[in-house]
Amino acid sequence: MTLLHLFDLDGTLMYGSAAPVEISRQLGLGAEIAELERAFGALEIGPHEFSVAAHALWAQLTPAHVRAAFDGSPWLAGIRDVWQEIRERGDYCAVISLSPSFFVELLLEWGAHAAHGSVYPEVPFTRPVEAAGILTPEGKVTVADRLCERFGVSRGDCVAYGDSVTDSVLFDVVPVSVAVNARPWLAERATHVYQGRDLREAYQLVGVARPGVQAS
């Protein structure tokens, strides 16, 4: 059976942080993005309101800032190893995140078959954010369904990895889920629970890793 592994980014592939936080740090806007993250986590604002506000904060953002944020982010160990193993098995791996697509898509360089984020204008910004391009938790399922069609699999062939309430809708529609450094609410609903800093260990919980893929 061919599997499609679906990875969240913020708090999942990235340990204890998120793409908007790392981007904002490059601009000296840590306090400002922390307040937006707090409001989003408290459900005071939704994905679109968050994205519009973040876009406004990042008026001076350049591609160099984005690259520095990506390269300096606290990634879990073993991401490229896991994705290489998935490819060698003939399975598929994709990232689906509410974070900006211009950041998420850099993970294609590490071996993801697909990477989808909220669609922001090209950096540096010259246009506003359009609501239709901003992903929601429900939108993650829509993207997952499109990926299933692309790769010739079904929801029943998917494994989802996530950490927060924004992953709960996707967890509800796939048979196997892995809560990675997750909030207790999501961990209680997951097939597997992982706490740590090595994706290879989380991947092995699914029971499909070859013996040669061991965490170092």
pLDDT tens for residues 36-54? 999 999 999 999 999 999 9
Query: How many distinct structural domains can be found in the chain?
Result: 1
pLDDT band at 140 (very low <50, low <70, confident <90, very high): very high
Region 198-216 average pLDDT: 73
Sheet strands side by side (includes 158-162): 114-118, 92-100, 4-7, 158-162, 176-180, 192-194
Question: Which domain, by its residues, includes 167?
Answer: 4-15+75-205
Q: Print the SS3 string covering the chain.
A: CCCEEEECHHHHHECCCCHHHHHHHHCCCHHHHHHHHHHHHCCCCCHHHHHHHHHHHCCCCCHHHHHHHHHHCCECECHHHHHHHHHHHCCEEEEEEEEEHHHHHHHHHHCCCEEEEECCCCCCCCCCCCHHHCCCHHHHHHHHHHHHHHHCCCHHHEEEEECCHHHHHHHHHCCEEEEECCCHHHHCCCCEEECCCEHHHHHHHCCCCCCCCCCC
What pTM value is reported for the model?
A: 0.94
pLDDT value for 211:
43
Token pair listed for 97: 């995140």
Tell me whether residue 128 is in a domain: yes
pLDDT band at 216 (very low <50, low <70, confident <90, very high): very low
Tell me whether residue 24 is in a domain: no
Tell me whether residue 101 is in a domain: yes
pLDDT value for 39:
96
Tell me whether residue 152 is in a domain: yes
Tell me whether residue 169 is in a domain: yes
Looking from the CA of 149 toward its CB, the CA atoms found within 13 Å total 6
The CATH number that applies at residue 192 is 3.40.50.1000
Tell me whether residue 43 is in a domain: no
Tell me whether residue 52 is in a domain: no
Tell me whether residue 148 is in a domain: yes
% of the chain at pLDDT higher than 70 = 96
